[in-house]
Chain A
Amino acid sequence: MNIFKRKVKKTVLVCCGTGCLANNSFEIYKGLKKKIEDLAVNVKVRPVVKATGCNGLCEKGPIVTILPDDVFYCGVKVTDVDEIVENTVLNNKVIERLLYFDSAKGKKVRSHKQSEFYRKQLKIALRNIGQIDPGNIDDYIERGGYSALRKVLFKMSPKGVISEVERSGLRGRGGAGFPAGLKWRQCAEMDNFPKYVVCNGDEGDPGAFMDRSIMEGDPHSILEGILIGAYAVGSEKGFIYIRDEYSLAIKNMTKAIEKAAERGFLGQNIMGKGFSFDIEIVRGGGAFVCGESTALMASIEGRVGEPRIKYIHSTEKGLWGQPTVLNNVETWANIPVIINKGAGWFSRIGSKGSRGTKVFSLVGKVRNTGLIEVPMGITLREIIFDIGGGIIGSGKFKAVQTGGPSGGCIPESLLGLGVDFDSLNEVGAMMGSGGMIVMDENTCMVEVARYYLKFLSEESCGKCIPCREGIKRMLEILEDMCTGKGREEDIELLLEISETVKEASLCGLGKTAPNPVITTIKYFRDEYLAHIKDRRCPAGICRELTVYYIDRDVCRGCGLCRKGCPTEAISGEIGSRFTIDTSKCIKCGSCKEICRLNAVKVLGGAAE
């Protein structure tokens, strides 16, 4: 099988994003490099080995891609290095074992671009990631990098840039979906200098890593976007706020800034066009609320990262009271493409009110987890069942949670929903920064609401009463429900407090915090009722609301369960039926795990 074109220079891309690095991909990178260098004497064209940013399939990492033929290997180990070089790089032989298994097609595919995971995606913000070495500015330039900046400086007026971004329909990707062009226009219209531009790379949603991937894998695209924005609004100074844990992102962004300055893309009189701009990285302390725009600005100014009232827009009074444009990492990364390909091109992608694509981190009970970028308007079903490959294991889909900790849970009946800013809001969820967690039937929705409220209660800054006290009391009610102490009138009380927290809180955290509660009550009220009235947790998750018992018809009396029980709650004679003394049972589940015949059941729990 010779699928390789001859005499084309080969490139070996080794994913060195955080996920793959954790699985030793740097050793693989070094191994491949050394092996090829050692062999160099015998090879006509010397392949290039590059360390790239995250490919979005971390779970299947480490990932190695060989170009131009696009052979895609996953789960690569250091011990595979020799074979990859000898077979695939030098002799054009594909190693079946390392190919990607496409669960939708039920077979292995050579290039993951042929897979369902990739086929429905469209990469704009993630266009270069996995394809370039983020540490090498030439890689970026080779793929058209900084040409948008050149175009803007040489051919476009600031006003022209703003109207291009406005016409593109780009809305902020950090959560609220505010039109980027309008924000820029508001700032440009202020004649109060200095002005600032800020990049929000705080990414506080637990489990989300879209912004991190862009900062790690394609830092120059963000810089270029910021430069274009700064030129448009008349700013000479920018800040990139990155949470402190993101060490690789900080490293790669720092290097990108150095390299861009060396090439004259940053600093005084850029490209000789009289535009000057400098940028600084600020490390964030990591509180979730610091991602909120006013808290973030307070933090940059060196004050406590707490939100403040913003009836006056940041575009008028932002950092140090000066006009400021703050956009999210992904928003900035879209800008160079919009300038190069035009507002017309961009606005034809996506849905009516939400143009372009959105990056999601798809996680939970789906087969393919990872980072995806899809045109807006794509249905939840396509995301979960085509790209995600459906539910993992034998379970059934139950809900998908979008929008981070204060997003909402969407039920099966709404899987046909086209995903965009407005449609998600309409069903009570939200876009947030793009977290998407798929849940199967073994998930208790009351527990889900409790879990998020717990997170939010710890992350609320505590400044305003509705958020601080409201979340605290909602959590108290949910904890009661999960332990069998819920009361009949609690659902109404939850909704009443929700209204107050949503309407009266000071910042976006409080205003969205009730979403997990409201949506689970709206779509899964039965489960609440089961917890309150029947003292039963249908999913079998809330420990106090389940009973373990042994099914007499299945038990053969082997006695294994008795050995496994830490509290001696199980009794019986070998060969006859065993029983559980519910007063002693602590519901640890050991017996259920041990029993080979699946005779241990959970009452109130889901069917196996």
Chain B
Amino acid sequence: MKVMIDGKKYDAEYGEYILNVARRNAVNIPALCHSDALPGQGNCRMCIVEIVDKGRKSIVASCAYPITGEIEIVTNSERIYRIRKTIVRLLSASAPDNEYINRLRKEYDIPPETRFKVDRDGKCILCGLCVRACDEIGVSAISTVNRGTTKRVSTPFDEPSTVCIGCGACAYICPTGTIEVNEDEGRRVIWNKTFELLKCSECGEYFITREQYEYIKKRYDLADTNELLCDKCKKKGIGDKLTNVLHNVIPVQK
């Protein structure tokens, strides 16, 4: 079917999200909580657009609005810009020191915040991608806790998680770089838990935690193998499987 985006006609499949159609056609819509692998969250609301559906106007989140009819879409009206700008301002008041948000703030021409009390330690924008990624891997080690302004992402009771496999997918997908991963001398620390790293049997570089290795073996029902290959040395073998698991979750972006 056809949809009209900013006055131009484009093809769209039934049920396809507006954002996907726009991106395919190089129409730029900002999106903070969207990942092609984990679509349809609708938390950040940066991707809002105006639509006219059977004469009815409304504002919707393009990342989660499925196209089911011939609608008209406006992605960049003055009103939409104003609302996005306010969202960025709100974010930057809560996370003024975050690079990613600062970049956005400048992009929207917003001066540094002076009206509100700023939180110096705020970084996370609660986009929810990390939680979704971890769920998707099948681990569900982290979740949001509390509600309203005290909401945050954490492990149960803020203790080192018993199920986390230290894969780092959460940190990788996080747009704001909130989740800390520290690596040195064969150890990785994430979410307050320390993991032992294993080496690639080809190039000898550390690349995977033991828990992650065990998890993948179990999940893909792989026989015990001594072969361990990192991404770079990808050949047939477990390294490839690993890439698959992660790439199901983490699209090649950034």
**A463 lies within 8 A of B48 (CB):** no
**A493 lies within 8 A of B90 (CB):** no
**B87 lies within 8 A of A462 (CB):** no
Asked if A499 meets B48 with Cβ closer than 8 Å, knowing A312-B66, A463-B128, the reply is no
Q: Which of A312, A487, A497, A500 has the most CB of B within 10 A?
A: A500
Asked if A457 meets B83 with Cβ closer than 8 Å, knowing A463-B128, A476-B116, the reply is no
B24 located at the interface, meaning its Cβ lies under 8 Å from any Cβ of chain A in the complex = no
Bound complex: CA A503 to CA B115 (Å): 23
Query: Please, which residue of chain B has its CB at the minimum distance from the CB of A470?
Result: B90
- Give the shortest distance, in Å, between A294 (CB) and chain B (any CB): 11
Cβ contact of B86, chosen from A457, A462, A468, A499, cutoff 8 A: A499
B111 located at the interface, meaning its Cβ lies under 8 Å from any Cβ of chain A in the complex = no
Asked if A468 meets B60 with Cβ closer than 8 Å, knowing A311-B65, A500-B87, the reply is no
Interface of A is mostly: helix
* Residues of chain B from 52 to 97 with CB closer than 8 A to chain A in the complex: 59-61, 64-66, 79, 82-83, 86-87, 90-91, 93-94
**B148 lies within 8 A of A461 (CB):** yes
B30 located at the interface, meaning its Cβ lies under 8 Å from any Cβ of chain A in the complex = no
- Give the shortest distance, in Å, between A288 (CB) and chain B (any CB): 10
Bound complex: CA A464 to CA B128 (Å): 10
- Give the shortest distance, in Å, between B47 (CB) and chain A (any CB): 10
Residues of B within 8 A of A458 (CB): 148
Asked if A464 meets B43 with Cβ closer than 8 Å, knowing A500-B87, A503-B48, the reply is yes
Bound complex: CA A289 to CA B93 (Å): 25
**B148 lies within 8 A of A465 (CB):** no
The proximity string for A residues 457-486 relative to B, scoring 1 for CB distances below 8 Å and 0 otherwise, is 111111111101111110011000000000
- Give the shortest distance, in Å, between B90 (CB) and chain A (any CB): 4
B239 located at the interface, meaning its Cβ lies under 8 Å from any Cβ of chain A in the complex = no
* Residues of chain A from 430 to 464 with CB closer than 8 A to chain B in the complex: 457-464
**A460 lies within 8 A of B148 (CB):** yes
The proximity string for A residues 216-232 relative to B, scoring 1 for CB distances below 8 Å and 0 otherwise, is 00000000000000000
Of the four ranges (under 10, 10 to 19, 20 to 34, 35 or more), the interface on chain B belongs to 35 or more
Bound complex: CA A363 to CA B144 (Å): 37
**B149 lies within 8 A of A460 (CB):** yes
The proximity string for A residues 402-415 relative to B, scoring 1 for CB distances below 8 Å and 0 otherwise, is 00000000000000
**A504 lies within 8 A of B148 (CB):** no
Bound complex: CA A308 to CA B128 (Å): 13
A83 located at the interface, meaning its Cβ lies under 8 Å from any Cβ of chain B in the complex = no
Residues of A within 8 A of B82 (CB): 496, 499-500
Bound complex: CA A458 to CA B151 (Å): 11
Residues of A within 8 A of B23 (CB): none
Q: Which of A462, A465, A466, A505 has the most CB of B within 10 A?
A: A465
- Give the shortest distance, in Å, between B11 (CB) and chain A (any CB): 20
**A309 lies within 8 A of B42 (CB):** yes
**B148 lies within 8 A of A469 (CB):** no
Asked if A504 meets B48 with Cβ closer than 8 Å, knowing A468-B149, A497-B90, the reply is yes
A463-B126, A466-B45 provided; 15 other pairs, C-beta below 8 A? A287-B147, A308-B42, A309-B61, A461-B147, A461-B148, A462-B126, A464-B44, A464-B45, A465-B87, A466-B83, A469-B90, A470-B86, A471-B148, A500-B83, A503-B59
